[in-house]
Structure 1
């Protein structure tokens, strides 16, 4: 039986690449995934690791804080002792796939607004029913 966990989320901290004692590259990144709705919404923080040649490439340069990503891999839950002696758990995904999704959100800043449009020249009366003078709406969802 296969353990595959796929989700989308937002990177919480820039990716880091380390090397094991045997020389294998390990890319590590933390991804936030929101679950639930309304007052019941929670944020799960998942540690994501990518091993080998795929971790050595330029992917690290694109996995920056605020970037939305799609992750697919094997999910595991790890237990560890905190400094206060309590037992804590963390979720970790050993990724097979990390894909960029959408644009990077620069610290919550909105994207630059479009430049104001110049007024269009007057049109012939036969085309008066067409709305060519109205600005184009880039936010159409389809």
Structure 2
């Protein structure tokens, strides 16, 4: 039985997404998100997360999301550890996004459908980066089947 660490976080983007490309040409976007939890005594507890997106999702997020945008993030938790310049051991938990969407609770959005490129998503196999979504991202490239329907056809 596998361990599933899937999370859904609704929060506000704390910094504009930073889009960069790997040497292999894969898009990677990183941004921060804050989630507020109101306690019974009325005080708020804030949690901050770093979010990483890959491939099509990264490009779509960089184009569509900015600081202050309220988003819904679906992905998995990943812990990273490293040693800083002083030799101290550091670690953090980040969200590897499979999908990012605007929260429509206090906003509206106009959806622009991107052409499906057949690219997969993330660092979980297939030699790829991370999440997917938006305009044809998804899970790892080698394991992805073509769509079961014509992408230009309405679903109903």
So what's the TM-score if we normalise by structure 1? 0.61
Q: Is 1:48 the counterpart of 2:62 in the alignment?
A: no
Matched pairs, number: 103
Task: Within 5 Å, give how 1:60-99 maps onto structure 2.
Answer: 60-82=62-84, 85-99=87-101
Counterparts of 2:82 and 2:12, CA distance in 1: 25
Q: Secondary structure at the match of 2:24?
A: coil
Deviating 4+ runs (over 6 angstroms): none
Q: Secondary structure at the match of 1:60?
A: helix
Q: RMSD over aligned Cα, in angstroms?
A: 2.4
Rg comparison, structure with higher value: 1
Counterparts of 2:25 and 2:65, CA distance in 1: 22
Q: Which runs of 5+ in 2 are unaligned?
A: 109-156
Shift of 1:84: 5.2
Counterparts of 2:87 and 2:38, CA distance in 1: 30
Q: Which runs of 5+ in 1 are unaligned?
A: 105-142
Counterparts of 1:103 and 1:32, CA distance in 2: 18
Please name the residue that 1:14 is paired with.
Answer: 16
Counterparts of 1:66 and 1:103, CA distance in 2: 12
Please name the residue that 2:36 is paired with.
Answer: 34
So what's the TM-score if we normalise by structure 2? 0.57
